[in-house]
């Protein structure tokens, strides 16, 4: 793989790493901040997903290192691109929509990384295919939650 292609893939992996850490932060906040009887199932789901999303970040970090990159520390993180937890702690629909938006962005980014790695880096491609599958699973779950609220 050329140095240029390696640098591109590392950059995409770093961006995915940032996205996963931002998701962990927002899921943690929403799993604690939401109030109300209707919020309980969403809180439980988000709380359970925190460890999985953190695991995604760990896998991405390992791959960045394997490719010769350096995993970003807190000063280098570029987060703040996702919808932030709502000020209204009973805004369950707002949280669900924010999760859907974040999962859609993650899916799109993993697809972009899969395409960039095609024919060049099958290990990264395989990792991103597996992460894409997990994000699609979350997306389906939260779209299902939204259907219930949109009745």
In this predicted structure, the answer to whether residue 150 has a pLDDT above a threshold of 80 is: no
Mean pLDDT of 68-87: 91
Quote the number of domains for the chain.
Answer: 1
List the domain range (segments joined by +) for residue 88.
Answer: 3-149
User: Do 139 and 104 contact (CB within 8 A), yes or no?
Assistant: yes
Q: Bigger pLDDT: 38 or 23?
A: 23
pLDDT tens profile 90-136: 999 999 999 999 999 999 999 999 999 999 999 999 999 999 999 99
What residues contact 32, with CB distance under 8 A and at least 6 apart?
43
- Quote the CA–CA distance of 75 and 80 in Å, as a whole number: 13
pLDDT at residue number 60: 98
In this predicted structure, the answer to whether residue 142 has a pLDDT above a threshold of 90 is: yes
In this predicted structure, the answer to whether residue 1 has a pLDDT above a threshold of 90 is: no
In this predicted structure, the answer to whether residue 40 has a pLDDT above a threshold of 80 is: yes
In this predicted structure, the answer to whether residue 144 has a pLDDT above a threshold of 90 is: yes
pLDDT at residue number 113: 98
Q: Does the CA dihedral 109-81-22-38 come out positive or negative?
A: negative
- CATH assignment at residue 29: 1.20.1260.10
């Amino acid at each position: 793989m050329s140095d240029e292609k390696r640098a591109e893939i590392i950059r995409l992996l770093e961006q995915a790493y940032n996205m996963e850490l931002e998701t962990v932060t927002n899921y943690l906040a929403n799993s604690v901040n939401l109030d109300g009887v209707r919020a309980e199932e969403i809180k439980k789901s988000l709380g359970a997903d925190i460890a999985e999303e953190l695991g995604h970040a760990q896998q991405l970090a390992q791959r960045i290192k394997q490719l010769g990159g350096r995993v970003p520390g807190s000063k280098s993180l570029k987060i703040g691109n996702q919808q932030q937890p709502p000020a209204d702690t009973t805004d369950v629909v707002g949280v669900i929509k924010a999760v859907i938006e974040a999962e859609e962005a993650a899916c799109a980014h993993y697809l972009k990384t899969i395409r960039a790695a095609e024919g060049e880096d099958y290990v990264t491609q395989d990792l991103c295919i597996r992460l894409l599958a997990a994000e699609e699973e979350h997306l389906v779950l939260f779209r299902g939650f939204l259907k219930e609220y949109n009745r």
